[in-house]
Amino acid sequence: MEFSDTSKVVGPLLARQLYMMAKEYDNVVDFTIGDPDIPTDAAICQAACDAAMTGHTRYSANAGIPELKDAISKRINETRGTDYTANNIVTTIGATEALFIAFMALLNKGDEVIVLAPYWIQYENMTKFFGGKAIIIDKFTKGFEPDIQAIRDAISPKTKIIVINSPNNPSGYIYDDGFLKAIADIANEFGLFIFDDECYDALTYEQEFPSIARYCDKEHLVLFNSFSKAFAMTGWRVGYLAADEEVVTNTIKMHQNIAICASVPSQYAALEALRHADTYSVRVREIFTRRRNVLVEELSKIPHIHFVPPAGTFYAFIDISETGMDSRTFTFSLLKEEQVAVIPGIAYGNAFDGYIRLAFTMNENLIVEGISRFGRFINRLFESK
Ligand code: PLP
């Protein structure tokens, strides 16, 4: 059987492979994929059941039920000072599909996409699916803030999109206003699209979350978001994009052919989530704040590793370069020896082979147990040196 060239441009996702490997161990502490153990709030589940029981079991309009699009646009406007309406929204099967249809609608063969590292690998994979080339920026000024000059230098006549993700998966870094303004200026100056993935906007710890939507001209911005993380709704598969009407019209053409519409009971669940967004997402944030603090405290006790406490998301990105091991070898040894599953940093860009990522999506006792095993592993490594 000969598979398509497109099927060959990407391999299986490393993160998913590790997640499957972790399942083979009985007593594993699994810090692999970003899937919170928290159940979706009962009232959100009830809204989906009610929708299904009252006949909302058929296709909706392609871009989603009007009430949900309306609620999404209002929520963005309240929090980002924008002026979107329901006509600027496409509801999708998670932010993953929103990103997919946006890349599909915009990229031509040979187009370049600037991706700020460390980065969610799907940006690069999707770019490749549509014949584009990802240009990775992994030069930093402070923390994980990419060097603006390096971004400017990477722009060519083929550049079409800059992808940013803040709060960032995997680093937990939040870009500040100055950086976001500089990126928006670049997009406006060169007529580029900003793909702004804000999936972790509700999970911030020590600082407010600034959005580039405040600075970027509307016709240059495609904003992506999801119900997965903020409302512990990964399995419901609802996300969206917000953009000007031309982008909306063109992405809907893709969406019609891939999905028709997002799951309708899930859209009603998402509507309920937004109606009481502050109550539901604050609960999720409180849980993750406690977990993050425990994680930071426990990690701080371990010698020879370095990390910046995550400002947002539920990930910690840990520098393990002192061990001298590459991130894959480290990860596989840690899993085998201590049954602690993490993701190798190489999954987030070639510059991060001295890192691992931990998703702290489990309760505090398990976090303490997992980090204590991780510490034991590190200590053993250095005792034998
Ligand atoms: N963007 C980022 C940065 C992510 O980490 C994820 C999921 O882990 C997504 C998008 C996709 O989220 P979903 O498709 O569940 O909405």
Which residues have C-beta within 8 Å of that of residue 101, sequence separation ≥ 6?
90, 92, 241, 251, 254, 255, 258
User: In this structure, what CATH number is given to the domain that contains residue 300?
Assistant: 3.90.1150.10
Half-sphere exposure of 228 (CA within 13 A, CB side): 26
Question: Domain end: 241, 276, 311, which one?
Answer: 276
pTM comes to: 0.96
Let me know whether 177 and 236 are in one domain: yes
- 268 touches 50 (CB < 8 A): yes
Q: What is the mean pLDDT of the chain?
A: 96
pLDDT value at position 15? 83
Note the pLDDT of residue 211: 97
Domain that holds residue 329: 5-40+279-383
Both tokens assigned to 309: 């406490």
Question: Is omega for the bond preceding 344 within 30 degrees of 0, making it cis?
Answer: no
Give Cα separations from 233 to 44, 193, 199, 230, 301 (angstroms).
Answer: 9, 28, 12, 8, 33
Q: Which of 9-13, 278-282, 361-365 is the most confident on average?
A: 361-365
Q: What is the mean pLDDT of the segment spanning 272-297?
A: 94
pLDDT of the residue at 240: 98
Rounded distance from Cα 377 to ligand 1 centre (Å): 30
> Do 11 and 49 share a structural domain?
no
Average pLDDT over residues 283-290: 94
How far away, in angstroms, is 36 Cα from ligand 1 center?
12
Specify whether 354 is located in the same domain as 228. no
Q: Tens of pLDDT along 203-254?
A: 999 888 899 999 999 999 999 999 999 999 999 999 999 999 999 999 999 9
Q: CB atoms < 10 A from the CB of 105, how many?
A: 21
3-state class (DSSP) for residue 292: helix
Q: How confident is the model at residue 33, as a pLDDT?
A: 86
22 and 93 both lie in a single domain: no
Q: Check pocket membership of 250 for ligand 1, CB cut-off 6 A.
A: no
The pLDDT assigned to 59 comes to: 97
Same domain, 34 and 104: no
Indicate whether 318 and 226 sit together in one domain. no
Cβ–ligand 1 distance for 169 under 6 Å, the answer yes
Ligand 1: does its nearest atom lie under 6 Å from the Cβ of 251? Answer: no
* Nearest CA residue ID for atom 7, ligand 1: 34
pLDDT-derived band at 12, boundaries 50, 70, 90: confident
Residue 83 confidence (pLDDT): 96
Confidence of residue 10 (pLDDT cuts 50, 70, 90): confident
Confidence of residue 34 (pLDDT cuts 50, 70, 90): confident
Q: Are residues 48 and 170 in the same domain?
A: yes
Tell which atom from ligand 1 comes closest to the C-alpha of 239.
16
Tell me the average pLDDT across 175-200: 97
Whether 215 and 148 share a structural domain = yes
Average pLDDT over residues 19-40: 90
> What atom of ligand 1 comes closest to residue 169's alpha carbon?
3
Cα of 81 to ligand 1 centre, how many Å?
Answer: 24
Question: 197 CB less than 6 Å from ligand 1?
Answer: yes
Interatomic CA distance for residues 293 and 299, integer angstroms: 10
356 and 337 in a single domain? The answer is yes
Based on the fold, state whether residues 47 and 98 are members of the same structural domain.
yes
Q: Specify the number of domains making up the chain.
A: 2
Least confident range of 21-30, 145-154, 329-338: 21-30
pLDDT digits (tens, 9 = 90+) for 160-180: 999 999 999 999 999 999 999
Residue 59: CATH number of its domain:
3.40.640.10
Query: What percent of the chain clears pLDDT 90, i.e. is strictly above it?
Result: 90
Q: Is the CB of 239 under 6 A from ligand 1?
A: yes
Which of helix, strand or coil describes residue 212?
helix
103 pLDDT more than 90: yes
Does residue 382 surpass a pLDDT of 80?
Answer: yes
Residue 302 confidence (pLDDT): 97
Q: Which of 163, 228, 317 to mutate to test the pocket of ligand 1 (most atoms within 8 A of CB)?
A: 228
> pLDDT grade, residue 17 (50/70/90)?
confident
Closest atom of ligand 1 to 238 CA is: 16
Q: How confident is the model at residue 384 (pLDDT cuts 50, 70, 90)?
A: confident
Same domain membership, residue 55 and residue 21: no
Answer yes or no: is pLDDT of 385 > 80. Answer: no
Mean pLDDT of 185-213: 95
- Residue that finishes a domain, picked among 237, 255, 276: 276
User: Do 261 and 288 reside in the same domain of the chain?
Assistant: no
Alpha-carbon distances of 17 from 20, 194, 299, 340, 363, rounded to whole Å = 5, 30, 25, 14, 23
From 276, 292, 316, the end of a domain falls on 276
